[in-house]
Amino acid sequence: MKLSTAAIALSGTSLGLLCDAFSSGAAPITRPMTSLFNVPAPTAEGGASPQEIKEAADAAAPPASFFDLQQASVKAAQMAMDDGFGLLEVEFPPLPANVLEMDDVSAYDVAKANVNLALDFAKAFATTGPKNNVAILLPDESECQIMREDLEMDSNPFPGVTLTSLRRSEEGDDRVFKPENVLIGLLGRGSGGTVKPIEDTSMYIIIGASAQELPDVEELYEQIKDQKDEETGKSPVIVFYNLKLDILRGDLGAPAFPSKEFQDRFLSRVKPVYYLRTRQYSRSISQPPFILNFQGCIFRSYPGHYQTLLDTGTGRYRKVVGNDLRPALGEFKEQLTDALREEGGIAKKKEEGALFGFLRTGYKTTTWWEEERENASMDWRL
């Protein structure tokens, strides 16, 4: 299946199709025209205060289109960079839900959509001068070459933007198959020197990396973290772009994957700056139709807090609660359930009974990486 730029709807497809990652049957989100970031107007003293900006971000609604989403994610990333964060996460569904649900949409189609989205994201930070370039990095050279050929672009698709790979061979090495890279990957002992920084690059955008390839990102970070721009004094930034880190974290500790300690040492320091994670649930009830389907999302646009949003079934989403700490998925589900209890959609806890409620939720409602850990950073939750 060939997906064009029009298919990924960068020019304004309703996010009722994207956020309909909530539900394939829900109507598109409808919302009155408002200021994109809802940031207060500058005051006589010269601008909105940090508190006003924070309050506006706390109240921000999910974007109404991919165009709005791109602008909002760029704004959130820039504000986090200004606050000194160097490991950023941007996460949202890369295609409209009606496209993602097609049987002939492959992982490669999703990867191609992510590259197109990342290119637009990168252009917002790139300059036409020799410095402050942006590099979009696929995991290896073969994937990068296939993507360039399919998208009909070279290694510099736009001024100041480079499309290349995390692992790169020495100049003049034109071999298609490199057995040493296979051996290094199987042993899991670093890249063998194939991960190298790119000169005059201020931002690296990571696309399509698996859990096994994330240590390459850490290797890159260790090489650039002490580099300082002569003018700004800032180090290059790494953006984890639509990598589904929540899923990749679950693979840690399995055979041939990085250990769980990798979460504590590195991934826990990644700051979600623009985050839209959708979830769907089903619950049995005592009255017809006996099964209640409900959905919602965790939404965050830095510096705002994490919003738990419930799909009302009318094409709109209601804010249930704001969280200063990112809720675990079990906690998020319980927040949606409590909102349904308040509306009378399901039985109250007292009516349900403690035992039955325990059987529904179980003893443990968090995964291992969502728990507080002694050597882990809290940046991934703040």
The pTM (predicted TM-score) of the whole model is 0.82
Q: Give exposure, 247-274, as e/b (b: 16+ Cβ within 10 Å).
A: ebbeebbeeebbeeebbbebbbbbbbbb
User: What mean pLDDT is reported for the chain?
Assistant: 80
Give the model's pLDDT for residue 37.
44
Confidence at residue 31, expressed as pLDDT on a 0 to 100 scale: 38
Tens digits of per-residue pLDDT, 202-249? 999 999 999 999 999 999 999 999 998 888 888 999 999 999 999 999
How far is Cα 213 from Cα 33, in angstroms, rounded to an integer?
A: 42
Of 189, 188, 146, nearest to 165 by C-alpha is 146
| Cβ count within 10 A of residue 55 | 16
> 270: pLDDT confidence band, cut at 50, 70 and 90?
very high
| Highest-pLDDT range among 34-43, 87-96, 97-106 | 87-96
Q: Which residues are within 8 A (CB) of 102 and not within 5 positions of it... i.e. 6 or more apart?
A: 1
The residue with greater pLDDT, 60 or 45, is 60
pLDDT confidence tier of residue 366, bands split at 50, 70 and 90? confident
pLDDT score for 177: 55
Half-sphere exposure for 165 (CA within 13 Å, toward CB): 17
Mean pLDDT of 140-147: 91
Q: What is the DSSP letter of 28?
A: P
First to last CA, the chain: 39
Q: What pLDDT was estimated at residue 355?
A: 46
The helix (H) or strand (E) run that includes residue 161 is strand 161-165
